Amino acid sequence: MSARYDVEGLVVVVMGGTTGLGLSAALRLVENGAQVVVTSRSESNVIAALALLGPKACGFAGDASLPETAERAVALAVATHGRLDALYHVAGGSGRAKGDGPLHDLTDEGLRYTLDLNLASIMMSNRAAVRQFLNQGSGGCVLNMGSVLGWSPSPDYFASHAYAAAKAGIIGFSKSIASYYAPDNIRVNVIAPALVETPMSQRAVGDEAIQRFIAAKQPLDGGRVGTPEDVEGAALFLLSRAAHFITGQVLAVDGGWTVSEGRTAR
């Protein structure tokens, strides 16, 4: 039997809620009585996710790096349920195909694409949610998806410097707005996984050298790549009423990444 979380009746927007970490959390949210709005760039992913999530969910296809997508998601939550209680921003991804990588190889396109997808998108969704919380006068909760790469690099295997900058930026941004909006009872936290098996991580998950590295770098539970289920409990806790006195925090769900040296051939 899965754990129970105090999210009954909450209205939650999950940006990027149709695959991987976002879908995992959305499933647990509805299982625990929340109402969710999910978004994805892929129409087919939205259709498949809504079939799994059932009547407590609605959603649409939209690009999280465009401001109108978050605004539409918040508006849909309010139109359907009368309010917004929480935002969980998971949408993001690798910019390698666009030219992200070590700084000397980083292309202008890779820089812009990666920062828009992973940092600007969060700033826009948080803005839409905070505006709604202020209009409601009810407070609210924001949870942003970070990464251990924002402060604990892996130079041999994960040298995507625009991505790391974006994830570090999420921490600074989230702490800044957590401080500013605490008097309005708006909580803002960050969850920071290490390597988790998702559609984005297939390159790394399929690499034998990275698997050997992870066995030492993420030593918990036998030394393995994480799963979305490893992250969902922490996410649901931070979204829940039980975390009502927590803001401005970064929670690493990393299998020991940030306290382990790992081993490389370098």
| 214 vs 19: CA distance, rounded Å | 23
The string of DSSP letters for the chain reads -PPP-S-TT-EEEEET-SSHHHHHHHHHHHHTT-EEEEEES-HHHHHHHHHHHGGGEEEEE--TTSHHHHHHHHHHHHHHHS---EEEE------GGGT-SSGGG--HHHHHHHHIIIIIHHHHHHHHHHHHHHHHTS-EEEEEE--GGGTS--TTT---HHHHHHHHHHHHHHHHHHHHHGGGTEEEEEEEE-SB-SGGGHHHHT-HHHHHHHHHHS-GGGT--B-HHHHHHHHHHHHSGGGTT--S-EEEESTTGGG-------
d(CA 79, CA 94): 33
Catalytic residue, from 88, 163, 180, 181: name it: 163
Q: Known catalytic residue: 163?
A: yes
Query: Which residues are the active-site residues?
Result: 163
